[in-house]
């Protein structure tokens, strides 16, 4: 991006949101919103989200959530990917900061004014897990429906790492919500796609809830769709 004076940055952010990028980066690393028909010009909802690959609305609270791929090039264990409730007008750091006020070493001392405003994400994933689509589990009935304890929980598909010494991801994880608040930890739900550190045979991409209550998972390592149903042993 080109250099802007503090006054020019202030004017830009007045219409594009705090921390919004410009030039060829305009409207990137943002969550944008329009009307259902797409007739209203795009408006910035939140900024600084590097790659919000999956977004979904919690029907019980109306809150927007996003699963996010964070930046590469800072080592095996930086920067953690994450899942977060997205606040209207919130700024999440990209490209100047990560995980609150941690400065990106590629952008030192460029935007000290933003440091106090970076929001922390709700759930951290192991770095380079590459979370993609997410879905709230909302099925309450059906022959394949999960127990009530799953109601309102989030499933996230992790596509898996490409630039980490030891592989991570390649699975679907579950995050439990309690009255709209996520547990800080996540649990593995669907695994087994990793053969060894050189080979995998499945890379989860999409998750959806079927009409019968089953969870559907697509993966592009072998171009398959998996159906996961809850079964009670009698």
Percentage, residues of the chain above pLDDT 90: 95
Please report whether residue 18 resides in a domain.
no
Distance of CA 36 to the CA centre of its chain: 22
pLDDT for the residue numbered 163: 87
- pTM (2 decimals)? 0.94
Nearest to 100, CA basis, from 77, 136, 124, 132: 124
Please report whether residue 204 resides in a domain.
yes
pLDDT confidence band for 231 (50 / 70 / 90): confident
pLDDT for the residue numbered 233: 65
- Mean pLDDT estimate for the chain: 95
Please report whether residue 153 resides in a domain.
yes
Q: pLDDT tens digits for 112-133?
A: 999 999 999 999 999 999 999 9
Please report whether residue 11 resides in a domain.
no
Question: How many domains, the chain?
Answer: 1
Please report whether residue 6 resides in a domain.
no
Tell me the average pLDDT across 13-36.
95
Please report whether residue 106 resides in a domain.
yes
Please report whether residue 15 resides in a domain.
no
Indicate which CATH number applies to the domain containing 94: 2.120.10.30
Range(s) of the domain holding residue 82: 27-228
Nearest to 154, CA basis, from 80, 58, 230: 58
Please report whether residue 4 resides in a domain.
no
């Amino acid at each position: 991006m080109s250099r802007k004076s503090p006054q020019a940055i202030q004017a830009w952010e007045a219409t594009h949101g705090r921390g919004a990028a410009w030039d060829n980066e305009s409207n990137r690393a943002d969550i944008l919103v329009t009307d259902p028909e797409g007739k209203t010009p795009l408006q910035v909802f939140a900024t600084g989200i590097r790659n919000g690959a999956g977004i979904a609305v919690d029907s019980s609270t109306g809150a927007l959530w996003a699963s996010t791929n964070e930046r590469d090039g800072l080592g095996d264990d930086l920067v953690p990917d994450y899942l977060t409730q997205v606040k209207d007008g919130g700024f999440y750091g990209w490209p100047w900061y990560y995980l609150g006020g941690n400065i990106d070493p590629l952008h030192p001392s460029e935007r000290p004014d933003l440091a106090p405003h970076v929001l922390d994400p709700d759930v951290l994933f192991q770095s380079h897990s590459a979370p993609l689509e997410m879905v709230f589990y909302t099925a309450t009935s059906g022959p394949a429906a999960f127990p009530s304890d799953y109601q309102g929980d989030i499933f996230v598909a992790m596509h898996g790492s490409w630039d980490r010494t030891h592989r991570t991801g390649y699975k679907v994880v579950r995050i439990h919500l309690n009255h709209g608040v996520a547990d800080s930890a996540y649990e593995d739900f669907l695994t087994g796609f990793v053969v060894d550190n050189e080979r995998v045979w499945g890379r989860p991409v999409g998750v959806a809830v079927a009409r019968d209550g089953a969870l559907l998972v697509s993966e592009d390592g072998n171009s398959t769709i998996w159906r996961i149903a809850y079964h009670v042993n009698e």
